[in-house]
Structures are given as structure tokens and as C-alpha cells.
Structure 1
Amino acid sequence: MQPCPVPDIDRALSPYIKTREETLKVRQTLSKYLTASLRPVNAATQNQHLNHETPHSLGAVGTNPPGLKGTRGAYLEAIRTNKAARTKLQRLQASLEDLQQRHAVDFPIHDPAQETDMVQSYITLLRQRRRFAEMELVQTSLEKLLNVNPIEGLKDPRDRVKDSLGEQPNLPAERLESLANSESSASTILKLKNEVLEARSSMDRAKAGRNEVRSASRDAPTLAVQVYALSRAREEIQEWVQGELSKMDEESGFIEDASPVKRPVALPYTQDLASSEARIRECYNRYTASRADAIEGHRSLQQPPATRPENVDGVDQDRDIATQKASNTRSKLLIASLLPHLSHLARAHTSERLMLLQTIYLQNQISSADEVVSDSLARLADESHILPSGSRAIEPWGTVVTELEARNLESVQERLQSSRSNINNIATIVDLCSLQSKVLDSK
């Protein structure tokens, strides 16, 4: 590769000039990307020839990408239709320009090889026939278009002006020429000065009114008004987020109940929180009391009876037997006292297990709902282009809404100021017109 003789140009183009190996590698990467975009991939769409040249009779399929639906799909279809219409229009314009500029080529050129005028006249006749056939084809197409969509004749410009502006007003009873001839120059100058003074006074009044309006101090919004505005903004954001989430739920379907304990669907009812808390606390106290009794009974059963050393006398043996019988009787009484509490213990154990399972289920549901809300907020941030991509918090939405409200307030104030200035100008013009009409009436 020969370097450029100009050093500045060689230095500027050096980042864009690659070797043959690097260029071939870039072409191979591009050919792989192009082949992946073609459907279907067969022997005709292999990427070997794309490394050196671009195919001419090979194009991508006109189907939409898999994730493009709704408004974006319609927008892509509209772009394709617009591109096809522009291409067709360019072809028609090129054909019309060819027909218009054909006469420059159709002129007979003097050729020494053509010996007779008969050949030239015959060639001219053939060219005229071809042009006549093309003009007939164009005329037929235009007639068809006119028959499909007939064009109404253009109206007279005077009629169009009359329709838009209305009838012309009548002329005044006295001609201006007679008025000018009848009045003297001094009276005319005096009237003109009076009109100028009246116009100046009206302008001064308008300026004073404008300055008074501008200098009028506006009351600052109170704290209650600001709180109300912020609450309304928060409610609007919540309604919008809930609407988007409901749309997502309608598209994805209802979440199936994954709880291990299936409960019948109950109608919604209003529940008193104080009474519910009292019942739960009472059940828990009974559960702890029964559990303490059970533990105490179990400990009493585990304690061994008091034994005394063996004695050879028969009286000691009888005493031991009596003591053992008394301990057995006491243990039987303890077991009998525990029997009424077994149902409560079993029910408490079952309730504890059910509460544990329900707690695990609710934790899973809350975590899944949190993930769904975070993903929804991230997707909304990506689609709205208002927040940075991947934003999963609700606080940035409030900040963005506040900024948008501030911008809207500024634009509204600017438009209000411009409209007020326009109103003042119109009022000035109306005053001048009224003064002129009074002067004309006095004449």
C-alpha cells in the first residue's frame, strides 16, 4: 500500500485505512450479520460471496421483528409504505423526464454513412411512431386516473374571494373628493391634530393600564395549595402506574395461586382490626398456657421415683411396694389431667404449621410482585425515554413530573404574556379605530 504523498492527508486518513487481512476480517463480520438477518438461510444466502461483493438480487424479508408489535409495528409499516411510494414516484418522474428530454436525442444526426435522405426520413418516422405510442399510453393512464378520481373545475378567483371574505361593503354616501374640496386646509390640520392628540392619549391610557397589570403583585401559593397540588400529582402518577400494571396483567393472565393450603374464595368484608388483634392474642395466650402445662407434665413424668437402699426386713419391702404404687397412681393422674389438652395441642401444632406455610407463601407472593413492579417500571422507563434506562424506583417519576410541570408552567406563562401583549395591541387598535370612526361621523 503506497502512502499518500501529502503528509496531512495521510495522517488524517490513516485511522480509516486497513490492511488486506483487516479488511477481509471486517467484511466477514458484516457478511455474518447480513446472513443472520436473512430468512431463510439456504445455499443461496451463504456468506462466502459477501466477503468480496454485495449480492444484487438478494434482499431481506419484509417481516417485522419478533418483539415489534402495536404502534411500533404500524409505524414501521407506514415507513415501508412511504418508501415504496417514494420509489414509485421517482421512477415515474424519471420516465417523464426521459420523455421530456427525448427530443434532444431524437434529432437526426448527420451521418456520412447514410447516403440517402430516405433512410433519415424513415428513421425519423420510426422515432415519431415510438413517441406517439408512449404518449398514447400516458394519455390512457391519465384518462383512467381522471375517471377514477374526477377533478372539479377551479372556481373563479373572484368567487373564491367572495366566499372567503364576503360581500364588498357599500360606498359612503358622500364622496371623499367633495369632502376634501369643501374643507379648508386649516380645518383639516386642526382635525388631524385633534386625532393625533386623542390617539396619543389613548396610547398613554393603554400603557398605564399595561404597567398597572404588570406591577400588580400576585399572591404566592399557600402551603395548602402546594400540598393539594402535590397530592393530585401523586394520585395521577399512581393511577397511571396502576393502569399500566392492569394492562400488563390483562396481557399476561392471572397469577395462579401457588399456596400449599387452598382456601375457598370468600366475599370481601370489612374487618375490625382491634377485635382481630384481641382474638389472635387470646388464642396465642391459650396456646402458650397449654404448651407450658404439657412441658411441666412431661418433666414430671421424666423424673425417677425416690428409691431407698434395700433392706432385708419385710417391712421395708412392703413400704417400697406401697411407695411404687403411689407413684404409679400419681403418674396415671398426671396423664389423665393431660388428656383434655391434647386436642388443643394438636390444633395449635396444626395452626402453627399452617401459619408457617402461609407466611412462606405470602413472602413468595410479595417478592414476585416486587419483581414484577420493578420490571414494569424498568420497561416503562425504557419505553418512555423520560428516565434513564433501567430505572426501577418510583421517586424519579415524581421528580420528572415536577420538572415537566415547571416547564409547562413556564411555557404557559410565556404564552399568557404574549397573548396579553396581543390583547393590549388589539385594544389600542380598537381605540384608534373608534376615534377615527368618531371623527368620520363628526364630519
Structure 2
Amino acid sequence: MQRVEPYPMASLDCPIPSVGASLNPYIKTRDEVTRIRKDLHSHLQVHDGSELVFLSLANPSGPIKSQTPTTITGVRKAYLDALRAHSASQARYDALKADLASLAESKSSTSAVPVVSQPSVNDCHVPMLRQREKRRQLQLIDRTYVAVTTTGAASIDGHLDDIVRQQAGDLPTLLSKPPANLSEKSNVEAQILKLKKTVLSVRRSVDALAAGNSGDRAISVPPARTGGEALGLQSALNELTGWMEQRLAVIGDADAKSQAIGVTEVSNAHAASGGVSLDDIAASYRDYLVARQRTIYTTSSTPLTFRPASFSVALENGTSTRHQLRSPANTILPYLDGLTSAKHEELCLFQESSFLRRQIAASESETQRLLARLADESHLVHPGISKARSWTTAAAEASNATKEVALQRLQNGESSTGAAAQVLQGVRNVPEYLRQSTTRSM
């Protein structure tokens, strides 16, 4: 390294020659100062082994050895010592700044949110749950007190059922209850019983007709008649049916003594008095069966739109046509099929309503079990709560608490950011301050 000659102070002469002569070796131009720094950097890189990084007064890079080589003397040695002292002071300054920033942050966090030691989970959560339960009970008492004071003595004098009905509403109507229109008609069962009796009587008459002699089976069947004749025969059939039912009722209501009278005594009495004999009654009953059969055939046959070719064809096909007719019960009681289908539909509807009721009950029980399980697992509500209103209140309280904590932390972060910005601005001003100090010292 070459020795740098002192720069002559031609334009800046010192009024005291001795002082000017002593300061003349230390007063250099900017270019000479830059060249000296480069030379020092290359020399330190060769002897110290550090990386090739630009040296500056504000931020020297790389470690600097505490021992000064013997080859460095004079101004270079003093400059190296100054660099070492500056690096040590800068490190100490940074450490003090970091300590001050950590103290400020801990103080702000302590004042905003008090730090509570958490030795265990039970010591932290059990008191919180107890305080929450006490708060919930106090809120319930407060709401009840407000309701009592607002409504007055009316809320106390009222019956418990009335209060529950006012809060929860009336109980729903059971689905298994029969409709109102069915309960109004109290004689439906009596009508059905009457229809059953009529069906049985018609079936008995049909069986008796089927078991009759061959002469009765060979009775000629007249062709189909017009609508007026069919209506007349139908009315006659109704009258005969009513007369037979009356006869059967009279026979059923007779005394036991009258039932014990022999047939011969009755026939003798009628013969003596000139009344009707048993043969006349049997003949009248056969006539009744014939008329009934004709009426059944007339009402069951389909009216013809054309005149039949001959009456003999109808006689030949009478036996086959008789098997193709509807049953005598449906002919006498045309509304029997409708009543049967209505009864079947009613049973189906009752079964569907009972099934739906079971499904609704199962869904409600499952919902109650789910709410109870969630209430037992959650820390927001009291265990066993099954009302949605309690969940809504707890959710609102938790949301408000979360918002307060978030806002508080946001304010703390903003204050910390402002403090960090001030510290950063101070660090950025340090090189300028050191540069000014160096310039003044030179």
C-alpha cells in the first residue's frame, strides 16, 4: 500500500500556522477518502478472510478481528479501531432497541388483556362454566321479574295450564280421531246391520230357489221389458220384501207358548173358522219366489236397442244368460259396492294417519335427542336445553365476545405497528446522524 501524501490547503489556510500544519495530514478530499476506504477494504479482505462486502460506517458487514495486524499503523489503525467501536456500539444499540420494543409490547398486552396463568384445563374452564351458569340463572330470574312486574298479579293468579297454553299454544288434534261428519251420523252402524240382514235374507231365498224342484226351474222367462215395467216390478219387489220382514219380525216377537202350538191344531182352527190353510200359504210363497225371480232378471238384464228375432232364442239362452247376470245382492242393494269401497278407503286412511303419526313422533324424538346431545357437548348452553331460543341467545353472546376480543387485538396490533414504524424511522436516521458526526469530526 502506497503512502498518501497530504493534500495542500491552498484555498483553506488556517490562521494559525502550527494548527494548520498539524491538521493538514488529516484533511482529505472526497475522492481520496473513497480511495482510502477501498484500499482498507481490500487489505482487510486479504488479512481477515471476510466476504467481499462494501464497507460503510453505518453497517459494516462480516466479523472484525479484535487484534490489529502489525502492518497497519497510523491513520489506518485508528480507522480500524473506529470501525470496531462503531460495530460494537451499533450491536448494543440494536439490543437495547429490541429490549425496549419487547417491554412496550408486553406492557400494552398486559394492560389490554390481563394474563391469567393456566396450570390446568380444570382450573381454567370449570370456573368459567360455573360463572356462565350463574349468569344464565340471573338472566332468567331477571326476565321473570320483568314479566311479573309488567303483567302484574294476572300472571300469578292464572293457572299453570293457561300459562303454558299462552306460551306454547294449544295442543294439536290427534290424527287418529275420526272426522266430524262420521260422528254426526250415529245411525251408520244400524244401517250397515240392516243391510247385512237384507243380504242374508236374499241369499237364503236364492239358496231356496236353487234347491227347488225341477218344475220351478222350468219356469219360462219372459223377455226384457221396458223401463216403466221394470220400475213397477222393482216397487213390487220392495213391497214384498217389506212384508216378509214384517212377517219375520212378528214370528221373532211371538211368545214361547204360541211357538209350542202344533201345526195340526193351527190347521184345524183355520179350517173351522174358514181361514187360510197351510197349502194356501205354500202356494203364495211359491208365487212370491217366482215374482222375485222375474224381478231380479228384469232389473239385472240390459235393455235391448233392437227387437229380438224370436222368443224361442231367448228361451234357449235363458240358462246361459242367468249365469252371466250380477249377483242378487248387488241387484237388490245397488249401493253395497260403494259402501264397501268407502269402508275400505276409510280403513286405509286410518292406517296412513297412524303411520304418519308414528313417523312424526319418531322425528320429534330424534330431534330432541340430537338437541340434548349437542347441549351436553357444547359449552355455550346449559346441559339439557332443547329450546332454539337458548341457542340463539348463546350464539349472540359468543359472537359479541368474539367481536370484542378481535377489535381489542386489532387495536393492539395497530399500536404495535405504529411503534414499529417509529423505531424503523429512527433506525433509518442513524446512518445520516453518523455521517454528519463523522464529517464534523473530520
TM bucket (normalised to shorter chain) is: under 0.3
Q: 1 or 2 for the larger relative contact order (CA 8 Å, sep ≥6)?
A: 2
Instruction: Tell me the TM-score normalized by structure 1.
Output: 0.27
Instruction: Tell me the TM-score normalized by structure 2.
Output: 0.27
Higher radius of gyration, 1 or 2: 2
